Amino acid sequence: MINTISSKLLMLPGILLAISIHEFSHGYAAVKLGDNTPMLQGRLTLNPLKHIDPIGFLCLLFIGFGWAKPVMINSRNFKNPRRDDFIVSLAGPLSNFLMAFIFVGLMKVVITFMPNSLLKGVVLDVFRGTVSINLVLMIFNLLPIPPLDGHHILGSIGGRTVWNFYHKYYDYLRFGLLLLIIFNVIGVIITPPIQFLYGFLLNIFF
């Protein structure tokens, strides 16, 4: 029981960072492309309290994958709505990959230069958890199912035909995603690409 609690606490910094970076990146990209909605809603911040979805946060902490409170955007403010919506949607997952890359690099620094100690083990556990959570958020959000980022990315690529499909079946697809989460099918789907990317990053630094 104590080990379980301590492992969850070690994951907490990575979860808060991953959520904050993900949603801030969406908002920052939107503002840069002409939509100030995220700024007006107070979402252009790294404060995790502004981005946490309670259920999604608990899922991240106890199940291993989850979500944050989506950043609202108004694509009518974009000069090129189709292209800019694609960029904004991709910004979140890409930021998580960048964080994973940085923290694998930090793991290398700690292993190389930090003397062996209990603190070193704790730091490495926090960094490993941060890498894992960022990869989880990246891959999970790339799934092309509403309301995840992937459905915006696919819609931006496919255009009206794809958007019409999402509009027609939106509620069914969201319910389907809920079932996939409940029966842990999502875990089966996203684990292989997460493991591949984790291995890929380790091979870069080690």
23 belongs to the catalytic site: yes
Measured distance CA(163)–CA(168) in Å, rounded: 9
Q: How many Cβ atoms are within 10 Å of 52's Cβ, its own excluded?
A: 19
pTM of the model: 0.94
Which position among 20, 23, 64, 186 bears the catalytic label?
Answer: 23
pLDDT tens digit at each of 206 positions of the chain = 555 677 878 889 999 999 999 999 999 999 999 999 999 999 999 999 999 988 888 888 787 777 889 899 999 999 999 999 999 999 999 999 999 999 999 999 999 999 999 999 999 999 999 999 999 999 999 999 999 999 999 999 999 999 999 999 999 999 999 899 888 899 899 999 999 999 999 999 99
Separation in Å, CA 95 to CA 19, 55, 83, 91? 10, 22, 18, 6
Q: What pLDDT does 3 receive? A: 59
- Give residue 186's identity as a one-letter amino acid code: I
Beta strands in 72-134 (DSSP E): none
- Amino acid at position 2, single letter: I
Measured distance CA(10)–CA(112) in Å, rounded: 21
